[in-house]
Amino acid sequence: MEGCEARRWVEIGFTVLEPAQRTARLPEDTTRVPYEARVRGFAVGACRLGDEVEVKTLTGRRVRGRVVALDPCFAHDFGRPVLELIEAGLEARALLRLLGESPSAAAACARGGAIDSEAAAADRAGGEAQA
Amino acid sequence: MSAGLDTGYQAVMARSTQILRNASGLDYDDFRRGRLCFDYEGLMAATGYSLEQVADVQRRCKVGGTPLLELSNLTRLARSLAPAGMGARILVKDEAANASGSFKARRASLSVQESKRAGYPGVIAATSGNYGAAVAAMCAMQGQCCIIVQETFDSRGVGQPEIVEKGRACEAYGAEVWQMTVGPELFYMHLRLLEESGYFNASLYTPFSVSGIETLGWEVAQEVRGLTGRPPAAVVVTHAGGGNVTGTARGLRKAGAGETQVIAASVDLSGLHMASDTQFNRKSFTTGHTGFGMPFFTNPDRADVPHNAARPLRYAHRYVTVNQGAVFYTTQLLAVLEGLERGPAGNTSLCAAFKLAQEMPADEVIVVQETEYTGAGKHPTAQLTFARDNGVRVVRGPATLDKPGEVIAIPESPEQVAYAEIDLQRVRASYLRGRLAAAEVGDYRQLSAAELEYLAEETNLTRESCLALLKRAAE
C-alpha cells in the first residue's frame, strides 16, 4: 500500500452519527445508513490509506479521521455530449435565421413541435456555404 | 471539540438557541412581540447599514454593478410565439460577473464584514450552493478564516457534480470544506462546528444576508429606468430559500419601483424527498427548486436562525414552476443564441421569463435578475450525463412528460417552454394555519388587531383579505 509522508494533502472521513443516533425525521432509506463527513487537509503524521490520522485544514484547525484518499482530486467534468441539447441548439439557430427571412414560417415552426434536426443541420450548412 | 460539552445529537440540538445567539451577535428575542408578532423591520434595521453603505462595502468587495444585458435573440424568439404587439423585452442581470461568480456574493459581503467588525475569528456557512464559494471568496479578500459545510454525497460516496464543483470552488478560495452525506443533520454538524470554532454564522437567512441583495433590486430598477424611463414591469427571481425574492423586492421598493411585479420561479422537483439517500442523486438541480421553495414560502422559520429575514410571502406577487428539461433547454438557447454560457440552476428564472414575456406587451421590460458561473459539474451536459448514469431518462418532449427523478423532458420547440402557476392564496392559507398553530392560537377570532395587522403584512394582503383568508382556512 502506498505510504504517505507528513504534510501530504489527504482526505479523511469519519462517521458522525451511527444509524441509531440519527434524527427520527428521515425517510426509511436514509435511516439505514450512517451520517458521514469528509474533510481535506495536510496529514500531521505519516500515514497510509485507511489509517487513522490527524489533518491540519486550510483554516489551521485539526480534525481526526480515517484516510480515504491520498492527493484527493476533483474528478467532476462536463460529462458526455448530450445530443438532445446539441439538436435543440441547432433547431433554435435555424429558427432564428428563418425568422429573419420568413417570420410567419418561423412562427409556425416554433409552434409546430420538433423541427427535423437533420434539416436544421442542412439549413446551417447551407447558411455557412452562403456566408 | 469544546472541552466538557456533550457533542451528541440531542445535547447539541438542545443548545441550538444559545449556539446561534453566540454566533450571530443578534438577540432575536429583542424583536419578538407577544405570542405571534415580530418586529421584522426592526430586525432588518438592526444591521445598521443603509443601502448606500451596503453598496460601498460591496464595491470594495468586487461585488455589484453587474452588467444588465439585453437578450435580443431570445426576445425575438419569444415574440414569434406571442400575439401581435406582445412579447416583452427580456433583459438579464449578469450576476456571474460578481467575485465568486453569482449574486450570492452580495449576500456574503456584508456577513463577512460584520463577522470581522464584531471580532469573530472566522465564518461558517452551511450551504451546498454558490453561497459557499461567495462566503469563501469574501473571507479570502477580508482575511477571515472560513468553514463551509455542504451536503455532498449519498451513502455510496457519490457526490452530486454541481455540489462537488462548489466544494472545489470553496477550497480554491481557501475554505475548510466539510462534505457530508444526505440528511437534515447538516444543521447539527453546522451547530457543532459553530460551537467548537467560535466562528460567525453567516446564515443565508440573517438580515445581513438579505440586505446584501437589496442593491440588486435597486440596480435593476435604476438601470431599467435609465434605459426606458420607467422601472421594469416584472422581475423574475429564481427562488429557493426566499432571500433572493425578499432582498430583490426590498431593493425595488427602495428605488421607488414598488409597482414592479416580483415573480418567483422554482424548478419543479415535486415527488422527490429531499432527505432521501437514494433520491439525492436523481435530481439535476441542487437549488432553486420546489424542495426548498415551497417550504420556505409556507414556513420561512425552518431556517438556521431564530427568525428568518427572508420572507418571500411578504414580497412575491406570483410563484411559478418550470421543469428541469426546460431549464436545460433555455440554458442551451442562452449559449447558442446569445453567446452566454451560464447556469444552469440560475437560469430557472430565465426559463420562466421566456414564457412570461410572451404574455406581456412588447413595449414592456421583463428582467431576469441573475446569472451564475458555469463550469465542470455545474453544466447541462455534466448534469444530464449524471442523470442518465443514475437511471434517469432524458427525452425530448413537453413538461407533461417530465417526472422528477425518472424523466427529464427537454422541449421539442420553444413553444414547449412553459410554466405552472402556483396558487399563492393556498400557500398563504398554509402559512397562516402553521403560524396560528405555532403560536397556539386555536381560533383566528382570538387574534388581536395588532396580530391581524402583522399576519396581513406577512402575507402581503390587506387586513380584510387576510381576515377572509383566515376564515376560509379555518373552514
Are B377 and A82 an interchain contact pair (Cβ–Cβ within 8 Å)?
no
Q: What is the pLDDT of residue A101?
A: 79
Q: What is the DSSP string of B389-442?
A: HTT-EEEE--GGG-BTTTEEEE-SSGGG---EEE-HHHHHHHHHHHHHHHTT--
**Which of B209-213, B275-279, B367-371, B471-475 is least confident?**
B471-475
Task: Give the mean model confidence (pLDDT) for residues B433-447.
Answer: 94
User: Residue B405, Cβ neighbours under 10 Å: how many?
Assistant: 21
Task: Give the mean model confidence (pLDDT) for residues B423-434.
Answer: 96
- The tens digit of pLDDT for each residue in A48-64 reads 999 999 999 999 999 99
Are A91 and B185 an interchain contact pair (Cβ–Cβ within 8 Å)?
no
Is the ipTM higher than 0.90? The answer is yes
Cβ-Cβ contacts under 8 Å, A38 against chain B: 152-153, 178-180
At residue B318, the 3 state secondary structure works out as strand
User: Residue A56, Cβ neighbours under 10 Å: how many?
Assistant: 15
Under the banding of pLDDT at 50, 70 and 90, the label for residue A107 is: confident
**Which of A115-119, B336-340, B384-388 is least confident?**
A115-119
Task: Give the mean model confidence (pLDDT) for residues B427-439.
Answer: 95
Query: Could you give the percent of chain B with pLDDT greater than 90?
Result: 92
* Full set of structural domains in chain B with CATH: 9-52+102-207 (3.40.50.1100), 60-100+208-421 (3.40.50.1100), 423-474 (no CATH)
User: Residue B121, Cβ neighbours under 10 Å: how many?
Assistant: 13
For chain B, the straight-line distance linking the first and the last C-alpha, in angstroms and rounded, comes to 51
Chain A segment 67-96 residues within 8 A of B by beta carbon are 74, 76-82, 84-85, 87-93, 95-96
User: Residue A13, Cβ neighbours under 10 Å: how many?
Assistant: 18
Q: Is residue B161 over pLDDT 80? A: yes
Q: Does B274 touch chain A (CB under 8 A)?
A: no
What burial class does residue A75 get, using C-beta atoms within 10 Å of its C-beta: 0-12 exposed, 13-18 middle, 19+ buried?
exposed
- The tens digit of pLDDT for each residue in B309-333 reads 999 999 999 999 999 999 999 999 9
Are A38 and B153 an interchain contact pair (Cβ–Cβ within 8 Å)?
yes
Please tell me the distance from the alpha carbon of residue B144 to that of residue B61, in angstroms, as a whole number.
Answer: 13
Are B276 and A27 an interchain contact pair (Cβ–Cβ within 8 Å)?
yes
Q: Does B418 touch chain A (CB under 8 A)?
A: no
Cβ-Cβ contacts under 8 Å, A87 against chain B: 396
Tell me the three cell numbers of residue B198: 467560535
Q: Where are the alpha helices (DSSP H) in B271-360?
A: 290-298, 324-338, 348-358
Please tell me the distance from the alpha carbon of residue B471 to that of residue B475, in angstroms, as a whole number.
Answer: 7
Q: Is residue A1 over pLDDT 50? A: no
Closest residue by Cα to residue B309 from B246, B240, B239: B246
Are B277 and A80 an interchain contact pair (Cβ–Cβ within 8 Å)?
no
Q: What is the pLDDT of residue B441?
A: 93
Q: What is the pLDDT of residue A114?
A: 47
Q: Which helix (H) or strand (E) holds B149?
A: strand B145-153
Tell me the three cell numbers of residue B303: 431556517
Q: Is residue B9 over pLDDT 60? A: yes
- Whether the ω angle into residue B344 lies within 30 degrees of 0, i.e. cis, is yes
Are A58 and B81 an interchain contact pair (Cβ–Cβ within 8 Å)?
no
- Identify any residues that bridge with A53 across adjacent strands, giving them in sequence order: A65
- Cα distances (Å, whole numbers) of residue B155 to A30, B72, B158, B162, B391: 9, 45, 7, 17, 17
Chain A segment 10-39 residues within 8 A of B by beta carbon are 16-17, 21-23, 25-27, 29-30, 32-39
- Identify any residues that bridge with B70 across adjacent strands, giving them in sequence order: B91
**Which of A82-96, B1-15, B67-81 is least confident?**
B1-15
Please tell me the distance from the alpha carbon of residue A26 to that of residue A9, in angstroms, as a whole number.
Answer: 34
Q: Is residue A128 over pLDDT 80? A: no
Are B276 and A114 an interchain contact pair (Cβ–Cβ within 8 Å)?
no
**Which of B1-5, B80-84, B100-104, B435-439 is least confident?**
B1-5
CA-only gyration radius of chain A, Å:
28
- Best of B401, B412, B417 to substitute, by most chain A Cβ atoms within 10 angstroms, is B412
Under the banding of pLDDT at 50, 70 and 90, the label for residue B272 is: confident
Q: Is residue A121 over pLDDT 60? A: no
- Mapping DSSP onto H, E and C, the string for A73-120 reads CCCCCCCCCCHHHHHHHHHHHHHHHHHHHCHHHHHHHHHCCCCCHHHH
